[in-house]
């Protein structure tokens, strides 16, 4: 006995639905791969900029050894780059897992922590309270991954960071 015309139409619809679902799955999977590719390409470009001769020179000269303070003009270029890096995270181009395990994420946390007062000064100078806000958000999220949400653990982490300030500056200044 041959299947009825109605049964064949149902099979046709089911087949079309199955093909549609498979196609949707493949497109979704490819979209995920493209997102990862864009993330890594963006990170590679940011890493090239962070380690460029110009940025290395800026980082080396940003701290004035005579006054024992950062030169705000030179520091601003570094902070602008790190803000751009943090903005890529906020925009969803970079994910926090990549940032947390990257050297640029490590530097972002330290430059932010060691320059909170300079950031306040720059906000006042430019009359912009939102300046470096993405860096601040990245710092908070990084700390949550590093030590969780415990105030005591955060304070202990920041105390350890503070203890490395001089060594950090010495290494960045290449002396």
Q: What is the pLDDT of residues 30-47, one digit of tens each?
A: 766 677 788 888 889 999
The predicted model gives 53-73 an average pLDDT of 92
Percent of the residues in the chain that have a pLDDT greater than 90, as a whole number? 70
Range of the domain at 36: 21-172
Do 88 and 137 contact (CB within 8 A), yes or no? Answer: no
User: What is the value of pTM for the model shown?
Assistant: 0.81
Question: With the C-alpha atoms ordered 120, 121, 126, 127, is the resulting torsion angle positive or negative?
Answer: positive
CB atoms within 10 A of CB 36: 12
In a domain, 45, yes or no: yes
In a domain, 14, yes or no: no
Written as one string, the DSSP assignment of 63-76 is EETTTTEE-HHHHH
- Rounded Cα distance, 51 and 46, in Å: 9
| Counted domains in the chain | 1
In a domain, 108, yes or no: yes
In a domain, 31, yes or no: yes
In a domain, 138, yes or no: yes
- Rounded to the nearest 10 degrees, what angle do helices 151-163 and 103-114 cross at? 90
């Amino acid at each position: 006995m041959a299947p009825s015309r109605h049964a064949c139409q149902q099979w046709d619809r089911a087949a079309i639905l199955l093909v549609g679902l498979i196609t949707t799955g493949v497109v979704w999977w490819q979209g995920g791969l493209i997102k990862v590719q864009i993330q890594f390409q963006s990170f590679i470009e940011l890493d090239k900029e962070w380690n460029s001769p110009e940025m290395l020179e800026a980082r080396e000269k940003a701290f004035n050894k005579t006054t024992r303070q950062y030169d705000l003009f030179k520091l601003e270029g570094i902070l602008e780059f790190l803000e751009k890096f943090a903005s890529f995270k906020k925009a969803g181009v970079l994910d926090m897992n990549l940032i947390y395990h990257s050297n640029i994420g490590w530097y972002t946390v330290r430059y932010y922590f060691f320059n909170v007062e300079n950031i306040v000064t720059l906000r006042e100078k430019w009359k912009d309270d939102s300046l470096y806000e993405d860096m601040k958000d990245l710092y908070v999220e990084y700390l949550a991954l590093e030590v969780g949400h415990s105030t005591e653990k955060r304070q202990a982490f920041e105390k350890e960071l503070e203890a490395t300030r001089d060594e950090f500056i010495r290494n960045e200044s290449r002396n």
